[in-house]
Amino acid sequence: MEYFEEIKNILHFITKDCSVVLFVTIIFAIYFYYTSTFDYFEKRGIKYMKPTIFVGNMGKRIRSKESFHAFQLEIYNYFKGNPFGGFFEGRKPILYILDAELIKAITIRDFDCFVDRNTINSRIPNYLKRSLLILKGSEWKGVRSIITPAFSSARLKNMLPLLQLCCKQLVEYLKQYDGKDLDMKDTLGHYTLETIGACAFGIKGDALTDENAYFIKVAEKFNEMPKMKRIFLLFLMVLAPQLLKYLNISFLNQESIKELVKTLKMVKAERRLTGDKKNDFLQLLIDAAETERKDSGTKAKLYLDDDTIDAQSLLFLLAGYETSSTLLSFAIHVLATKPELQEKLRDHVVKMTDGQDITYDLLSQLTYLEGFLLETLRMYPPVSRVDRTCVKKYILPGTSVQVNVNDVVAIPIYGIHMDPEHYPEPHEFRPERFMGDEKNTRPSHLFLAFGVGPRNCIGLRFAMFSAKLAMVTLLKNFKFTTCPKTRDPINFSKRAVLLKAEDGLWVQLDSL
């Protein structure tokens, strides 16, 4: 009996000891996995930010302690004086590029080595996965080349009547708020939804005539996500990004996107059934797809299938809505807080357009207005960082640093835009930076609001065209002043990735 009792005690000890060993082994394995990359930059002699296990250098962002724009500026200033620096998103090393010549090399001269964007690799539907933002390599190049003519000057000129109608509706919409305080981000969001709904989907969204219209209620929710789901996704991206490829998950509101796709498919089906054609982006895609099918051999790859058409239309709507409404609302905030600039810009617009029909060519002659909008984008870029993924082994020019395939490089847009070496007195708002000699002597790749190089924003001409038309309309009809809710300087939201004012962009509106 005692013999069996001793055996039992020995087995219990061994079992207990094995549990401890297993626990320690698991802890060590986890620690090793999440820190095994932390010597990546040290081995290469690159200055880097000291990482923390699990989160890397993302602690402030995960805890929402700092806006994404302020975070990018902090990173930029940390590495200032160095051509590049090392940063960790979780355990993933990201090489930040600061040097102007390296930025030019990566985005323009040696673009073929950095064709792809750094994207979330999840099982999202094709109507999201097939967008230009996500497509890679030859597929991106094929789709981009087909779509590019849709944004030619001739095409944009054909869209002018649609945009003018939207501007007329905007004036009528704003008149109901004469003498009142107004949050311009929400208000101008209605305008951009109406213009892009008309130019991308070919539908009348009633965003400026009915605040409860179905289209605006659906479209406005596209980036809404419960707080806990957003935190979960962020942690997943940092801690276990390899799991994303098994999940249908993104930062977009899937129900809203499904409804928008449903609307889009109905419009496409109706046009194909009736043969009705319109001067909008969707029609250009449909026509390009038909031309591609006719011109391609039976074995040739077709780039514009229905999912790809849907993806580009959605991208035009979602990206255009957010960026254009941000540009216009921040521009109005500048007008309200700098009345002398408002008067100067209004005089410029009135003088240049007095007695003339507004045309595409006339808008292109409003140089001070263009400088004003570009300076707004410099100080308030909707996106604060742009990424590229290396697709070929690459040696950074002038160094011995090798960038390997699948390595990610990042360019801190907001840091560059606020660098006094590139933009003297960067906190001063000066439209003249983008006019005459000052514009011509500064390298164009140091203005990154629309990206730069072959993979820049394909819709930048449309964005500037529609923004100029809206600004001309607003300046001719309204005056903007500060109100008790106006915040200057603006507090950026600490939770948003795209630029957003924490307290809104409130001004007082008065008819002229």
Q: Which amino acid is at 250?
A: S
DSSP-based helix, strand, coil % in the chain, nearest 5: 55, 10, 35
Q: Where is average pLDDT lowest: 17-26, 116-125, 250-259, 495-504?
A: 17-26
Task: Provide the Cα torsion 196, 201, 205, 207; round to 10°.
Answer: -20
Tell whether the model's pLDDT for residue 53 goes beyond 90.
yes
**What is the average pLDDT across 257-273?**
84
Among candidate residues 112, 111, 79, 109, the one with its CA nearest the CA of residue 94: 79
Task: Provide the Cα torsion 414, 232, 239, 386; round to 10°.
Answer: -20
| DSSP letters spanning 70-137 | HHHHHHHHHHTTSSEEEEEETTEEEEEE--HHHHHIIIIITGGGS-B---------HHHHTSTTT--H
What phi-psi label fits residue 504: left (phi over 0), alpha (psi between -120 and 50 degrees) or beta? left
Residue 234: CB atoms within 10 Å: 17
Q: Where is average pLDDT lowest: 277-281, 322-326, 344-348?
A: 277-281
* Euclidean distance between CA atoms 416 and 99, whole angstroms: 9
**Residue 261 forms part of a structural domain:** yes
**Residue 53 forms part of a structural domain:** yes
Percent of the chain scored above 90 by pLDDT? 57
Give me the pLDDT at residue 4, please. Answer: 55
**Residue 1 forms part of a structural domain:** no
**Residue 386 forms part of a structural domain:** yes
Q: Where is average pLDDT lowest: 16-25, 293-302, 339-348, 469-478?
A: 293-302
Tell whether the model's pLDDT for residue 295 goes beyond 80.
no
Give me the pLDDT at residue 120, please. Answer: 79
pLDDT, tens only, 402-453: 999 999 999 999 999 999 999 999 999 999 999 999 999 999 999 999 999 9
Among candidate residues 64, 114, 118, the one with its CA nearest the CA of residue 87: 118
* Euclidean distance between CA atoms 243 and 246, whole angstroms: 6
Give me the pLDDT at residue 3, please. Answer: 52
Cα 311 to chain centroid, rounded: 16
Q: How many domains, in total, are found in the chain? A: 1
Q: Cα dist. 132→126, 138, 233, 252, 316 in Å?
A: 12, 12, 23, 16, 10
Give me the pLDDT at residue 199, please. Answer: 81
Q: Which amino acid is at 337?
A: T
Please, what is the average pLDDT of the chain?
88
Q: At 9, is the pLDDT very low, low, confident or very high (cuts 50, 70, 90)? A: low
3-state class (DSSP) for residue 183: strand
**Residue 4 forms part of a structural domain:** no
Q: Which two tokens stand for residue 303?
A: 């780039």
Q: At 300, is the pLDDT very low, low, confident or very high (cuts 50, 70, 90)? A: low
* Partners of residue 507 on adjacent β-strands: 182
Q: Which two tokens stand for residue 329?
A: 């609302």
Residue 131: CB atoms within 10 Å: 24
Q: Range of 121's domain?
A: 37-511
Give me the pLDDT at residue 93, please. Answer: 97
**Residue 440 forms part of a structural domain:** yes
Give me the pLDDT at residue 280, please. Answer: 81
Within 13 A of 302's CA, how many CA atoms are on the CB side? Answer: 18
* Euclidean distance between CA atoms 480 and 268, whole angstroms: 41
Among candidate residues 193, 150, 152, 162, the one with its CA nearest the CA of residue 283: 150
Phi, psi (degrees; rounded to nearest 5) at 414:
-65, -35
Q: Which two tokens stand for residue 1?
A: 């009996």
Q: Where is average pLDDT lowest: 33-42, 180-189, 204-213, 330-339?
A: 204-213
pLDDT, tens only, 214-248: 777 777 777 777 777 777 777 777 777 887 777 77
Give me the pLDDT at residue 270, please. Answer: 85
Q: At 2, is the pLDDT very low, low, confident or very high (cuts 50, 70, 90)? A: low
* Euclidean distance between CA atoms 512 and 210, whole angstroms: 24
Q: Where is average pLDDT lowest: 17-21, 73-77, 387-391?
A: 17-21
Residue 84 belongs to domain with CATH number: 1.10.630.10
Give me the pLDDT at residue 107, please. Answer: 97
Contact 433, 378 (CB under 8 A): yes
Give me the pLDDT at residue 463, please. Answer: 92
**Is position 457 annotated in a ligand binding site?**
yes
**Residue 94 forms part of a structural domain:** yes
pLDDT, tens only, 112-154: 999 999 987 888 888 888 999 999 999 999 999 888 888 888 8
**Residue 19 forms part of a structural domain:** no
